Every structure is written in C-alpha cells, then in structure tokens.
Structure 1
Amino acid sequence: MAVDFRHKDVLLVKSVREFEARKRPYQELVDWRLAGRYDDGELVRLIKLGIACTRSNPELRPSMRQIVSILDGNDQWFAEARQKKEKREEWRQRNASALSLTRRIQALGIQ
C-alpha cells in the first residue's frame, strides 16, 4: 500500500515539518537497523535537503543542480537559503487543501 490512511500522520511531508518544528534530534529518524553505523554530517545534510525539497513554494526549493552539489558535500546552499525559510503557518496555508482531503479520507475510513 503506497499510502496508509489508517495512520494519523499519513503525510510524510507534514510529519517531517512537525518533527522539525519540535526541534527533535535528527538521530531519532535513523533506521534502527543501521545500529549507529552512519555519518552524523551526512544525516543532517540529507534531512535538511529533504525538508528543503518539500517546501511549498517552488522558488524556495533547490534546483537539481543544487541538489547534486549538496549531495557532493557543498552545504553553501543551506546558508544562503536560511534567510528564505518557509514559515510553518505559510506551509499550512499553502497545503490546506491536501491536509483537508487527508482528514476527510481518514474520517471516511478509506484505506
């Protein structure tokens, strides 16, 4: 099943946004099967990249060229993008229809 509407936090983007807003340690997102075998710097880079790629406003997302550069270890884009960070309320407004649809599907028990 691609989307399991039985779970409250069915939207991955919403879950990650809320995780970030609560300022939880990124290590909580790591698959336990890795048994601690991962690079903290890479973890932070990938999570920040995932968050940046899911911004509602396409102008605030990195381009494919920038994504490749970030994956190569160049974190300069993050420093430049910090001033343009999408606010939580702005994200909610832009995604209100998707969030509403998800709540309706869950209320109907559709899976």
Structure 2
Amino acid sequence: MTAYVIARLQDAAPHADIVEYIERLPSTFEPHGGRYLVHFTQHQVLEGEWTGGVVMIGFPDTASAQTWWDSPAYRAIAPLRSRHIEGDIILIDGVPDDYVPTAAVTTLREALAAS
C-alpha cells in the first residue's frame, strides 16, 4: 500500500545548505521507489491555519519510506535542512484503491452505542 512522507516546512531565508539539500534529496529517495508528489507548490487554506510550504513524497510502502528515512544517504543530508528550516514531518500509510470507510463507521457506531 502506498505510503507518504509529508512535510509542512516553515519558510526560511535562502541558504547554500538548503540549495544543496534540495539538489541532493531526490537521489536519496529514488532508489527506494520514492517520487515527489508535491514540492512547495502554491496551496489554498480552506479551513484553519496552514503556514509554510508542503512537500510530499510517495513510496511503494511504509517499509520503503522508513528505509529511505533511515538510510545513510538521507541521514547525511538531513542536517542541511534541519539547521535552517523548522517543520513537521510525518510518515503515513495510504488507503487501498478499493477503500470504503465501513470499518471506521462501524467503530464509531459501536462507540456511540456504548456511551
């Protein structure tokens, strides 16, 4: 099942480390089947607050994403970003193509019945 690494990163002043990080990043995730899905494209806030930019990388599965995150190639460049850009990064599983929210609805109905 497809997995996603999603980063919400705060805007940062231009820095040579960030340029190097962006240049080197694809070569760290591509061997693990990763590809950019979103890279700091414009976004529209529909509800709530969402500052900064979004980066989303898709992987074939969670294991591939985790292997990339832990890889020596990525760990070597991660400080180039983290020294200059604050943000939140998550790894999340997608849902199968045939997903329907039946299980979630069943769980909620059971919780409502129990209360």
Instruction: Tell me the TM-score normalized by structure 2.
Output: 0.27
Work out which structure has the larger RCO, using CA pairs closer than 8 Å and 6 or more positions apart in sequence: 2
Larger radius of gyration: 2
Q: When you count helix as a share of all residues, which structure comes out higher?
A: 1
Q: When you count strand as a share of all residues, which structure comes out higher?
A: 2
